[in-house]
Amino acid sequence: MGILLVLIVAFLIALPEFIKSYIQENDKDLIGREIFIEDIDINYFTGLVRVEEFDLKEPDGKETFLSFDLLETNIQPWDLLRNSLHVESYLIDGLYCNIVQKGSSFNFDDLLTETDTVESSSDESEPWSYTIRNFDLRRSSLSYQSDFQPEIKLDSIHLSVPQASDTVDIIDALLSLDLSTGGHLSFQNRINIPQSRYSITMLGDELNFELLRAYVDPYMNVNQFAGKLNSKLLIEGSWENTDILNLGGFVSVHDFLITDQRDDKFLAFDTLMVDIDSIMMNEAVYRIEKLQSSGLYGIFELYDEGDNYTNILVETADSSDADIDSTQVQTGVYELTEEDYANPFKLLAHYLGTIAKSYQNSAYSINEVDVRNGIYDFHDYTTSDPFRYRLSDLRLHADSINSDSDFLTISMGSVLNNTGTFDGTVKMFTQNLRDLDLHYEIKGTDLTAFSPYTADFIDYPIAVGELVYVNDTKIRDGLIVSQNVLNASQFTWGDRVDGDAPYKLPVKLAVSLLKDLDGNIHLDIPIEGDLNDPEYKLGKVIWSTVKNILLKAVSAPFRLIAGMFKMDEDKLKKINFGLIQYKLDKDHEKQLDDLDKVLNQKKDLNIEFKRVTKKYEEVERYAIIESKYRYLYGDENIPELDEIDEEKMGQINQLDVKDSLFFRHVSSQLTELDQDLPIQKMCIEWIGMERAIEKTDKIGQKRTEAIESYLVDQKGMDPTRLRFKVLPEDSLITHRSNTIFNVGFWVEE
């Protein structure tokens, strides 16, 4: 009996080492992979089992697939005799796992291979019960790689499960982790076993958009793709009925930024927040409490060949896209390929396409949409002088967007190029979103911004002009009825330019004829048509309206004064400087003499000069002139502009900025990245923005000083009767030859 006891003790002592040796010697036969274990300890009295330094290799036997520093579990051994597995504690410390995805396959698929099932014994046995308490996974990490993602690493993983048992209905678990790209995630999980339901509260803290960079690069050439995400989401669902998935909470993003390859800002916003009331997928119910955004910025640039949107996209020959038919394109729904499963953006697009396809059968509501403080820039470099326009203070607001309503109403507004305003509302009908009522008003819009287009198309820039425009439009079943009321004031054409305009319109005569006795232009323009008719082109109708606007203007407020003093009205209303000109000429002195005469006769009047200029045009024009000088005469001893003799300046002005040899010469001075810029930008890059600004930033002040000095020092005018005002920088794109001091009158209040 003593010998038997000794043998049993010896067997129990040797058992851990035997298990370790058996696993390491037979690992290939057991699972097809190598396993390394440093140590196994078993305490048969307390049920404590320790496994140290476990390492499961990849199939090639080189890289680690799964490892941990310590596994420690406390099993109640005597409960095993009662068909009960009772684990009092279960600790895994320092776990590491490396997951690699290729399409829809993973590097652990071989471990999940189905094996032959063993026929169960016909003998009935007492069922086993289980209880696991104090499960704790800590100091762990996980690495994930896919066809798109080089590596995502999850660090500081901590999973805690207080209790799991066949005698309890609810299992709670806490999970937290850090992402190597930045940010923290935590999950509060609850599993209801009898109901086959789960609920997850997910908290995201400052998750970095760098996590998604690898999925963007195959489609977009960008330099920066940045932003931070925060979230609190409650997710509820069922593992038996996967159609049941409910979602609530909020998601917010801040400091989002995309820049192009030259690191110019392309798309950005300060904040974006979605407050989700409830989303119930199986019932197609989507209820959003609030969608709010602030600080949105976007820019669109049009070039002779292409635009900045198409330039940023990567050209790909995706054979899977070639198989998508027109129906799939229209609905946004298509079959996913194996590669698509590795790209969350394609999965999301597929899912959203499915939702959009059935939106009429869905119950959706958004209690509030609020977009504010947005900016959108439009730059057109296809015109002789670049056209630049900014929409600022962009805002959009809607309350109670609801599928149960017959229509939804959205209000919107913007500041137009720092001078005018846009305010409007659109009412869309939920049964057919193509049916709508639209009303908007444009007030105080400075029409001189459109001079690059008018100069190119009709040979006349707009010198001065302000527009008030009211539109009411209704569309039903493709039939459009639109009422347009336009009022233009202070509209004046500039001097004719030497161009090859496609439209030869007598615009100056037409404007004179259209002015009423009060000097105003008022037009009611109705538009009707069938948008379903392929022969009906709304663009032609709009251009017709634009042409009408170009033929309308109002007499300036100087008409009465000009008639009274027998002066030239046009000479009274503005002091016209050429770009980079800062000295008064004889015409300027004559204009100021007339203004001095007016103020001498009208003592209650004071005079205001409003300088309207485009600083960028000054910089751009200087850079073009110096670039032409360097091209024609070399880089040595470049003189100041007023030191260039008349003959050389004439040759500089005759050189076309788009001359092919000049274009090549400028391009050769720049880096390869800058050679795709428009010629105007290339000149600035060559000369240097700092130098160009240094040469031009004093010009505006010198113009002001020249006017003030002439009136005060030479004409003896009281300086308190003079007021100078500078409109916001870049508030005006002037025509080809003028920068203007608009003249106005004011009285003491």
Residue type, 61: G
163 vs 510: which has the higher pLDDT: 163
How far apart are alpha carbons 191 and 197 in whole angstroms?
Answer: 6
Q: Quick one: pLDDT at residue 20?
A: 85
Q: Which residues pair with 438 in a beta bridge?
A: 426, 473
| CB-based contact 452:380 (threshold 8 Å) | yes
Q: What share of the chain is helix, strand, coil (3-state, %, to 5)?
A: 30, 40, 30
Output DSSP code: residue 112. Answer: G
Q: What one-character-per-residue DSSP string does 464-526 give? A: EEEEEEEEEEEEETTEEEEEEEEEEEEEEE-PPP----S----HHHHHHHH--TTS-EEEEEE
Q: Are strands 84-93 and 129-145 parallel, antiparallel or unpaired?
A: parallel
Q: Which residues pair with 416 in a beta bridge?
A: 391, 420
* Three-class secondary structure of residue 684 per DSSP: helix
Band of the pLDDT at 731, cuts 50, 70, 90? very low
Residues 172-211: tens digit of each pLDDT: 999 999 998 899 999 999 999 999 999 999 999 999 988 8
Structure tokens at 538: 């709304």
Burial (CB count <10 Å: 0-12, 13-18, 19+), residue 690:
exposed
Residue 334 sits at φ, ψ, to 5 deg, of -150, 165
How far apart are alpha carbons 410 and 427 in whole angstroms?
Answer: 6
pLDDT at 684 > cutoff 50: yes
How far apart are alpha carbons 620 and 58 in whole angstroms?
Answer: 61
Structure tokens at 698: 């004093």
User: Is the Cα dihedral 592, 594, 598, 601 positive or negative?
Assistant: positive
CA-angle at 396, arms to 393 and 402, nearest 5°: 170
Q: Are strands 739-746 and 606-612 parallel, antiparallel or unpaired?
A: antiparallel
How far apart are alpha carbons 706 and 697 in whole angstroms?
Answer: 15
In angstroms and rounded to an integer, the radius of gyration of the C-alpha atoms of the chain is: 38
Residue 185: Cβ within 10 Å count:
17
How far apart are alpha carbons 140 and 162 in whole angstroms?
Answer: 18
Band of the pLDDT at 141, cuts 50, 70, 90? very high
Residues 332-378: tens digit of each pLDDT: 444 555 555 445 555 555 555 554 445 455 677 888 999 999 999 99
557 vs 619: which has the higher pLDDT: 619
User: Is the Cα dihedral 500, 505, 508, 509 positive or negative?
Assistant: positive
Residues 609-657: tens digit of each pLDDT: 888 777 777 888 889 988 999 999 988 888 887 788 888 888 988 999 8
How far apart are alpha carbons 28 and 459 in whole angstroms?
Answer: 84
Name, in order, each residue with C-beta under 8 angstroms of 306's C-beta and a sequence gap of 6 or more. none
CATH 3.30.1330.60 spans which residues of the chain? 568-746
pLDDT at 523 > cutoff 60: yes
How far apart are alpha carbons 343 and 528 in whole angstroms?
Answer: 47
Residues 248-297: tens digit of each pLDDT: 999 999 999 999 988 999 999 999 999 998 888 778 888 889 999 999 99
Q: Quick one: pLDDT at residue 177?
A: 94
* Three-class secondary structure of residue 142 per DSSP: strand
| CB-based contact 106:146 (threshold 8 Å) | no
Q: Are strands 96-102 and 129-145 parallel, antiparallel or unpaired?
A: parallel
Q: Quick one: pLDDT at residue 36?
A: 93
519 vs 337: which has the higher pLDDT: 337
How far apart are alpha carbons 574 and 373 in whole angstroms?
Answer: 34
Residue 540 sits at φ, ψ, to 5 deg, of -65, -40
- Nearest of 96, 97, 77 to residue 88 by alpha carbon: 77
Cα–Cα distance list, 362 to 433, 649, 672 (Å): 14, 69, 52
What is the pLDDT averaged over residues 584-607?
84
Residue with tokens 């119930």: 280
How is domain 568-746 classified at the CATH fold level?
60s Ribosomal Protein L30; Chain: A; (3.30.1330)
For residues 518-548, one letter each, b for 16 or more C-beta atoms within 10 angstroms of the residue's C-beta and e for the rest, the string is eebbebebebebeeeeeeeeeeeeeeebeeb
Q: How many CA within 13 A on the CB side of residue 35?
A: 20
Residue type, 713: D
Structure tokens at 95: 């776990």
Q: Quick one: pLDDT at residue 558?
A: 64
What is the pLDDT averaged over residues 320-328?
46
**364 alpha carbon, distance to own chain's centre:** 25
pLDDT at 491 > cutoff 70: yes
| CB-based contact 245:348 (threshold 8 Å) | no
Name, in order, each residue with C-beta under 8 angstroms of 749's C-beta and a sequence gap of 6 or more. none
Residues 398-439: tens digit of each pLDDT: 988 877 778 888 999 999 998 889 999 998 887 777 889 999
Band of the pLDDT at 134, cuts 50, 70, 90? very high
Residue 329 region, left (φ>0) first, then alpha (ψ -120 to 50), else beta? Answer: alpha
Residue with tokens 């851990």: 16
736 vs 129: which has the higher pLDDT: 129
CA-angle at 441, arms to 544 and 467, nearest 5°: 60
How far apart are alpha carbons 503 and 383 in whole angstroms?
Answer: 15
How far apart are alpha carbons 282 and 207 in whole angstroms?
Answer: 29
CA-CA-CA-CA torsion for 276, 281, 286, 291, nearest 10 degrees?
Answer: 40
Q: Quick one: pLDDT at residue 83?
A: 82
User: Is the Cα dihedral 453, 454, 460, 464 positive or negative?
Assistant: negative
Residue 452: Cβ within 10 Å count:
24
Q: At what angle do helices 615-633 and 679-687 cross, to 10 degrees?
A: 80
| CB-based contact 725:608 (threshold 8 Å) | yes
**Rounded to a whole number, what is the distance in angstroms from the first to the last CA of the chain?**
121
Work out the mean pLDDT of the chain and round it to a whole number: 81
Residue type, 26: N
Q: What one-character-per-residue DSSP string does 324-356 give? A: --HHHHHHT--PPPTGGGG-HHHHHHHHHHHHH
Q: Quick one: pLDDT at residue 618?
A: 80
Beta strands in 180-244 (DSSP E): 184-192, 197-208, 224-238
**Strands ordered across the beta sheet of 574-577:** 574-577, 739-746, 606-612, 722-726
Among 171-185, 351-365, 474-488, 546-560, which is the least confidently predicted range? 546-560
